[in-house]
A and B are shown apart, each in its own frame.
Chain A
Amino acid sequence: MAKIIKINNLSVRYFGSSNLVLRNVSLEIEEGEFVLLVGRTGSGKSTLLNVINGVIPNIVSASVRGSISVADRDPRKTPVHEMATIVGTVYQVPESQIFSLIVDDDVAFGLENRAMDPNEIRRRVVESLGLVNLVHKMRHPTFLLSGGEKQRLVIAGVLAVRPRILILDEPTSMLDSMGAESIFGLVKKLNDEGLTIIMSEHRVERVIGMVDRVIGLKDGTIYVDDEPHRAVAKELPKLGIEEPQVTTLYRMINKNAEYYPISVDEFMELGVANRIDVIDKVDDGVGEDAILVSNVHFTYPGGVQEVLKGVNLAIRDGEVVSVIGPNGSGKSTLMYLLAGIYKPSSGSIKILGYDSTRLVGKERTGLIGYVFQDPDQMLLSSTVKGELEFTLRLSGIHGRVAEERVKRISGYLGINDLLGQSPHKLSVGQRRLVSVASVLVAEPRILILDEPTRGLDNETSTSLMDLLLTIKKERGITLIMVTHNMRQVGEYSDRVFVMYDGNVVFSGTPEIVFEESHRHPEWGVSPPQVFEVTRRINKPTASIRRVRVHAA
């Protein structure tokens, strides 16, 4: 096969910075290959991708040294729109890549700009929408599409110019699990049809099975570049990257293999599953009902469609609970109601024995706190300290007590050094910590977290979750997480509630829920590998921390 990308000794430094983002990177990619690019935030993944499509240095200024050839062109010397006919690029946030209000208009946008013949444009619009399975939504408003559909539309717009390479920079980090699945399926199909794919992605376990090659970056250099089974032998978690759970399991059994399994079937074929033991779960001891929701119905003000259709649930004090289910099933709405942002249309909600509709202001913030999905939706003050003080003021806490609280919580979360800084200048992970701190400072007894680790790399999300669990243990608070990350669900929750079509349709321990999910594809739940392995040996567990290995 011909090499379509040849990079030799590439070094990149952004203007105004003294550090090299990429250092002496050399690699070649064959036409038709599917490459997974991994590395923690800041390792240089996006920089590498943006050098290949020419955005660096043509739009984003940087000094780029070394030789680069993409389909026999130097992207540095080729206009970006011309490179785009060879290399299509899809970024994280679909909304910032969609320019039109109607689906087909958006696909046509790039072609109109290239002054293509209108008949050809019409042909390509249908063709591209067909590839991403959106022809039926051709005349649909773009902003009413789901996240997954939006990202597919972006891909259609990129494919319309028929590129030979498709670059995807964390294309699913803004999507729910259903949306992410549809993107992965599509990308795989496009690769099968011959398109070269380079994708950076944090959900390694999910995608590693479909790629030809894994390239891992560490501080701007290539640390791993190998076929998947051999690549995982390099202990990706040390790079801050997720590895398949079966790889971790097999490493517990055999530390020095050159070749590790990446799928459940491969693991089972190795015939070592009988060496796995599962220890019992330690019961933290849970108390009375912290939250009691009875027959809650809800319709948004001015809306016609009922969003919650008679929800019943009870969460006990001190529990860690996950709420899962596809987008639009009512998860966020239910959390809004628990947090008192809206009142139920009918039915009742009791928070630690209090009628939720009667709780206002500081009475509420001392009982229940809500950390929103995107820290930028919460961080509105000019300093981190101001952000915490804002919450304290709303909770009626002033003076020395307030000072103490700020000190204590920031110490807890390790953000003391950031107190004087603007929250908007911090890294994604730090912003997340500040948003958690700004809620925790009111010392609520119940904490709701909406997608607490979305957009974070594996290392940051693991340390955040561990921190939350520590706080939970020490302070005895109740944690409610809305999440699509099933590894997290299995690892951290005592109980799981499945929401579907405005109702809680199932609940139980993660193991019971994962087992049941096999019969309910509509839930959009794909259980973590550790569960799939342990259920086959009749010792089902959802948490890899409970797995032990005994000698052969």
Chain B
Amino acid sequence: MQPSPIIGQVLYNPIVNWTITLIMLLYGPALVIYLIFRLIGFQGYMSLFRFIEGKSVIYRLDPRVKILLSIVITTVAAITIWWISAIIFIAVMALYSLLSNIREKLRIAVPLILASFIGTAWTESMFTPYSYLQVIFHHVTFLYVLPRSLAIFGVTQGSGSFYVPYLGYVNNPVGITWEGIIYGLQITFRAVAAIASGLLLIFSTPPSDILRSLEKSGLPIELGFTLLLAVSSVPKVLENSMVVLNSLKARGVDFRPRSRNPIAFIRESLFIIRVVIMALIGIVTLTLRDARQIAIAADLRAFRAFRKRTYYKDIRMTRMDYVILAFLIALLIAGIYISGLPGMGAVPYNP
């Protein structure tokens, strides 16, 4: 095919090229931030930890079986080709129908999954080193070329001469590749299948039951306690963040640079970055200042005072748990078998 001069001229006009480049560079992080902050927000994060009881089978399963479910799903998704991972991901999403108050759950799960989808797909498809792609796919196709200077940011750069649509042959092009996108999807579906099954566990199991069952299966109590503290401090950290940002706003900090003059704009942006760092330090200080008190309170409540611990709630495997367990083992074996078939295995991560 001959390069079409008009489309080529438009696509590779420096202004258009740079505009597309900037969009490509920025949409990933921007969308992730947008999804996380706008769609989920503070309230959404809080409800992530607000366990609501339900009656369906998913709530009655032993937490350990659900943990195993996440592990098997993640493993199978990781070792098979991307479209099998996608099917597994969809299957996990179907299990969400067993959750009570499903709308609220999806309001949190969908943006989180979408955010990791976009985030991973973006980083992996644009920034995978050419050498990886060459090793994995043996052939690399450039779809669109970006300004060469972006190579320093790690955008994929081919070595040698490549044919680029509407542009013709280019030496050592820097840009978007078809194989990069496939690779991105591959990694992405691994990630989202893991996230979706992890969220399913969190939505259907009180956090303390997750920890109790982990401890029962041999997780050191210290580690479990640290995890528990980390999880339970999230709401407090979020609250502290809100208050600190509000106190800065009240003192006249404007978190949006407003100048039209580019130099002033950059200066304002730098100042905002400095303020954000100050705020982070403040949030950490606020969060950590009670650490000693927490340690004392834990000791007073006999934490680690005895070797043995008992459990407030019975965690026992039922018949249903064994059925699911058998299914998971079967799924794992099938996954391993399929991944061995030609063309069905996953592309390696970081070859």
Please list the residues of chain A having a beta carbon within 8 angstroms of any beta carbon in chain B. 53, 55, 59-60, 79-82, 84, 89, 91, 93, 95-102, 104-105, 108-118, 121-122, 125, 139, 141-144, 157, 301-303, 336, 339-341, 360-362, 364-365, 369-370, 372, 374, 376-381, 390-391, 394-395, 424, 438-439, 442
Contact = CB atoms under 8 A, between A and B. Distances in A.
Nearest to B308: A115
A442 B252 contact: yes
28 contacts: A59-B299, A91-B296, A93-B290, A97-B293, A99-B297, A101-B49, A101-B228, A102-B206, A105-B312, A109-B301, A110-B301, A112-B310, A113-B309, A115-B306, A115-B308, A116-B310, A142-B232, A143-B236, A144-B46, A302-B41, A302-B43, A339-B250, A341-B250, A365-B252, A370-B251, A380-B279, A380-B282, A394-B251
A100 B301 contact: no
Contacts of A59: 295-296, 299
B254 A360 contact: yes
Nearest to B253: A394
Given A302-B41, A376-B286, A81 B300 contact: yes
Given A100-B228, A380-B244, A364 B312 contact: no
Given A91-B293, A102-B206, A377 B306 contact: no
B211 to A, nearest CB: 9
A254 to B, nearest CB: 44
B297 A97 contact: yes
B312 A336 contact: no
Contacts of B313: 118
Nearest to A87: B300
Contacts of B244: 377, 380
Nearest to B50: A141
A293 B187 CA distance: 54
A15 to B, nearest CB: 15
B246 interface: yes
B6 interface: no
Contacts, number: 180
Contact of B290 (A95, A112, A379): A95
A91 B293 CA distance: 8
Interface string B257-295: 010000000000000000000110110011001100111
A113 B41 contact: no
A512 B343 CA distance: 83
Nearest to A97: B297
A133 B53 CA distance: 22
Given A105-B312, A118-B314, A80 B300 contact: yes
Nearest to A53: B300
Contact of A113 (B38, B50, B207, B304): B304
Given A100-B232, A102-B51, A81 B302 contact: yes
A79 B301 CA distance: 11
B231 interface: yes
Contacts of B254: 360-361
B229 interface: yes
A339 B248 CA distance: 11
Nearest to A60: B296
Contacts of B246: 336, 341, 372
The B interface, classified by DSSP as helix, strand, loop or mixed, is: helix
B51 A424 contact: no
Contact of A101 (B42, B208, B295): B208
A84 B302 contact: yes
A141 B312 contact: no
A60 B300 CA distance: 13
Nearest to A372: B247
B249 interface: yes
A104 B300 contact: no
A336 to B, nearest CB: 6
B301 A372 contact: no
B7 to A, nearest CB: 43
Given A96-B293, A98-B232, A139 B53 contact: yes
Given A80-B300, A439-B251, A101 B306 contact: no
A374 B304 CA distance: 33
Contacts of A391: 251-252
Nearest to B207: A101
Contacts of B178: none
Contacts of B225: 99
B311 A395 contact: no
A376 B306 contact: no
Interface string B202-238: 0000111000000000000000010011011001100
Contacts of B296: 55, 59-60, 91
Interface in B296-337: 296-306, 308-314
A122 B314 CA distance: 11
Contacts of B38: 302
A97 B303 CA distance: 12
B305 to A, nearest CB: 4
A141 B294 contact: no
B22 interface: no
Given A115-B309, A115-B310, A118-B310, A340 B249 contact: yes
Interface in B22-74: 38, 41-44, 46, 49-51, 53
A550 B179 CA distance: 96
Given A105-B312, A117-B310, A142-B232, A424 B42 contact: no
B252 A362 contact: yes
A91 B297 CA distance: 9
B243 interface: yes
A438 B228 contact: no
Contact of A112 (B53, B251, B312): B312
Given A55-B300, A97-B297, A439-B251, A376 B49 contact: no
A109 B236 CA distance: 20
